[in-house]
Amino acid sequence: MPRNKDALIRYRVINRCLLHGKVASVEKLKQECELELGVDYVGKRTIQEDLRSMREDERLGYNAPIKFDKYRRGYIYEDYEYSIDNIPLNEEELEAIAFSATMLSQLSNVRLFASFTGAAQKIMDAVNVQRLMKEESEYDFVRFEKVPYVGGSEYLQLIIDAIRNRIVLQITYQAFYSDQPKDVLVHPYLLKEYMHRWYLVGLNNEVQELRTYALDRIQDLAVKGKEYIDRNFDPKDYFKNTIGVIAPPGAPPEITFSVRKPQAQYLVTLPLHESQEIIGEKGGEVIFKVKVHPTYEFITALIGFRDELKILGPDSLKEQFTGSVRKMLERYT
């Protein structure tokens, strides 16, 4: 039996509330569903029926390991790694995804869709591999990169809705360098994924400056009835001169470095940054130029080339780079 849109939204809300060992009462699930749906009332019997369907309805296919924990007086997933997002796709769903990806690839010559060509191809590759794996169980020679679980994805929908509807958020945030979490008012502008983590970029209401927040460091999130401040944020311009999720203010320096052949071919085929250029060759080395802020992520990328790479300028970056290498050496002496 087909499910209506509200029921599917409730399933996703319930899933979000139970992820990774979280406990939620029927009342808590009811309130979260009302907030998500924008309605004044969702019945407790409706929530209980949703829990039963997620657990038992074979046509739905979730087979969710939901149980009531009488000690904590709420519902939990017995398997902390479970999520309805992990349910494998059936053939009809695979066909729908493949069709959509094919449509995108056919539009690759249209400038508006050109940036999606790689994503469409990646989807097609994944669909085709999954089909082959279904047909032939002995196809165990294909291995996708295993992405480690990083928390915070349960907040994605709420943040997307807040950005779209220009809503101020209060996040309970604990930075890596802080012992205690802190409540922060944020005017959300952008979600950005980097190195398997999601980040929120927004205006910090207290200091009135742009800040970046890792979603896996958010402990709680709530909507606040405060006037939204629009800074005409342009994500392309904000991240134009940086690698990673931190964008220092001001103009970036011009950085030059050389890399020995054939290691340089890795940079030729996969540039560190869109501003990267080859400006010459000398003594069996390729000389590159890039205009970017020397952030932690950028320095880390350069250090990964070890003795194959040499910083040529500016001098401030040479000192920063050699200082990092010197500290690495001191840990072994």
pLDDT in tens, 212-233: 999 989 988 988 888 999 988 9
| Structural domain contains residue 148 | no
Angle, alpha carbons 321-325-330 (nearest 5°): 145
In this structure, are residues 222 and 169 in contact, taking their beta carbons and an 8 Å threshold? yes
| Structural domain contains residue 30 | yes
CA separation for the pair 136, 130 (Å, rounded): 10
Quick one: 73 and 55 in the same domain?
yes
pLDDT at 122: 60
CA separation for the pair 298, 288 (Å, rounded): 14
At residue 169, φ and ψ (nearest 5 deg) are -115, 145
pLDDT at 1: 37
The predicted-structure confidence for 97-140, as pLDDT tens digits, reads as follows: 666 666 555 555 545 455 555 665 666 565 555 555 554 444 45
| Structural domain contains residue 145 | no
Residues 6+ away with beta carbon under 8 Å from 216: 150, 151, 152, 197, 198
Name the domain count of the chain. Answer: 4
What's the chain's average pLDDT? 83
* Percent of the chain with pLDDT strictly greater than 90: 42
Which of 114-128, 164-178, 185-199, 243-257 is predicted least confidently?
A: 114-128
Select from 183, 218, 182, 159 the least CA-distant residue to 36. Answer: 159
Give just the sign of the alpha carbon dihedral 193, 197, 198, 202: negative
> What is the average pLDDT across 71-99?
75
In this structure, are residues 304 and 327 in contact, taking their beta carbons and an 8 Å threshold? no
In this structure, are residues 154 and 132 in contact, taking their beta carbons and an 8 Å threshold? no
- pLDDT-derived band at 84 (thresholds 50, 70, 90) equals confident
Quick one: 207 and 279 in the same domain?
no
CATH number at residue 79: 1.10.10
CA separation for the pair 192, 201 (Å, rounded): 8
Quick one: 81 and 96 in the same domain?
no
pLDDT at 324 over 70: yes
Hey, what are 181's tokens?
A: 């979490």
- pLDDT-derived band at 185 (thresholds 50, 70, 90) equals very high
pTM over 0.85: no
Q: Omega before 262 cis (within 30°)?
A: yes
Quick one: 295 and 234 in the same domain?
no
The predicted-structure confidence for 25-50, as pLDDT tens digits, reads as follows: 999 999 999 988 888 899 999 999 99
Give bridge partners of residue 302 from the DSSP assignment: none
In this structure, are residues 274 and 297 in contact, taking their beta carbons and an 8 Å threshold? no
Which has more confidence, 99 or 309? 309
- List Cα–Cα distances, 252 to 201, 239, 267, 306, 317, in angstroms: 20, 11, 20, 24, 12
Quote the DSSP letter at residue 24.
B
Of 204, 238, 272, at which residue does a domain stop? 238
Of 27, 60, 86, at which residue does a domain stop? 86
CATH number at residue 198: 2.30.30
CA separation for the pair 91, 149 (Å, rounded): 26
| Structural domain contains residue 249 | no
Most confident of 93-107, 147-161, 263-277: 263-277
Which has more confidence, 266 or 60? 266
Quick one: 304 and 268 in the same domain?
yes
> What is the average pLDDT across 67-82?
88
* Percent of the chain with pLDDT strictly greater than 70: 80
Quote the DSSP letter at residue 19.
G
pLDDT at 137: 45
Quote the DSSP letter at residue 106.
H
pLDDT at 259: 95
Quick one: 199 and 272 in the same domain?
no
Of 71, 86, 101, at which residue does a domain stop? 86
**Domain span at residue 118?**
91-135
- List Cα–Cα distances, 70 to 23, 63, 73, 254, 267, in angstroms: 11, 21, 5, 62, 57
Most confident of 1-5, 76-80, 274-278, 322-326: 274-278
pLDDT at 24 over 60: yes
